[in-house]
Amino acid sequence: MADEITMLSAGAVEPGLAKVAEQFRRETGHKVKIAFATAPRLLERIGAGETADVVIAPPAMLDDLVKAGRVAAERVTVGRIGVGVAVRKSAPAPKIATVDEFKQSLLNAESVIYNRASTGIYLEGLFSRLGIAEQLKAKATRYPDFAAVRDHVSKGKGNEIALGATTVIVEAENKGLKFVGALPAEIQNYTTYAASVTAEGGANNSAREFVRYLTGPAAKAVFAEAGIE
């Protein structure tokens, strides 16, 4: 008999995870219902009592949920995602091949747009390390999630640069953005995402089956295509 598996997931893995869930449904008949949000928002929702069978989030967040008795200690790694640069579809691509080029492009931009989630937290620290935090402060705009970043830049007119997880930037290429490329290797940051069955979903064998499925060859191929390493 087909089951419905409920899941709370960080939004950065959505481009690959949605396809994997549909693939799993075709193969098993089990439907996966996924609610996507930023990692901080997921923590708020779970803290407020929202339940699900499976949670996908950065390991540090899962550690907190294990301590709170909300998810099982066992987990599987879904993959890791880097940070990328995007501009409006019609805008010229800024130079970002080297750290110096990336810094100069940010300083030349009229505005820099990024989120308040895992990516944005890393970028805050990066700008400080690069010595450009003060120069960027006046022209930086931050949103709760990348959807708002995408909408801001795709509808803009000036020299604006967007920063976000590479997966969601690539996915937004049909929504008015152009993927310029990943951050230079020396300053790249990867966020790892892992999946755990929750305390509430622990008795759901289908949920456990889906978590195992996330590490199989079919899922890995889909994740790789979406930019999840």
pLDDT in tens, 37-49: 988 889 999 989 9
Determine which of 19-23, 66-70, 98-102, 129-133 has the lowest per-residue pLDDT on average: 66-70
Residue identified by tokens 């799993």 is: 24
Same fold, 4-80+192-225 and 83-187: yes
Q: What is the domain partition of the chain in residue ranges?
A: 4-80+192-225, 83-187
Residue 131 has pLDDT above 80, yes or no: yes
CA distance 116 to 145: 7
- What's the fold here for domain 83-187? D-Maltodextrin-Binding Protein; domain 2 (3.40.190)
Instruction: List the alpha helices (DSSP H) in 29-145.
Output: 39-47, 59-67, 99-108, 118-129, 133-137
Strand ranges in the chain using DSSP code E only, listed in sequence order? 4-10, 31-37, 54-57, 76-81, 83-88, 111-115, 140-143, 160-165, 177-182, 191-197
Question: CA–CA distance from 34 to each of 18, 146, 165 (Å)?
Answer: 8, 17, 19
Pick the CATH number of 4-80+192-225 from 3.40.190.10, 2.60.40.60, 1.10.15.40, 1.20.140.10: 3.40.190.10
Amino acid, res. 168: V
pLDDT in tens, 176-214: 999 999 999 999 999 999 999 998 775 688 999 999 999
CA distance 65 to 72: 8
Asked whether 167 and 19 are in contact (CB, 8 A), the reply is no
Strands 111-115 and 160-165: parallel
Q: What percent of the chain has pLDDT over 70?
A: 98
pLDDT in tens, 14-31: 999 999 999 999 999 999
Tokens of 21: 């869930």
Asked whether 86 and 179 are in contact (CB, 8 A), the reply is yes
pLDDT in tens, 50-87: 999 999 999 999 999 999 999 999 999 999 999 999 99
Asked whether 93 and 101 are in contact (CB, 8 A), the reply is no
Pairwise pLDDT comparison (2 vs 73), residue with the higher score:
73
121-147: average pLDDT: 95
Dihedral sign of CA atoms 203, 205, 210, 214 in order: positive
Beta bridge partner(s), residue 83: 165
Torsion of CA 182, 140, 174, 165, to 10 degrees: 40
Question: Would the pTM count as exceeding 0.85?
Answer: no
Nearest to 182 by CA among 115, 99, 91, 59: 99
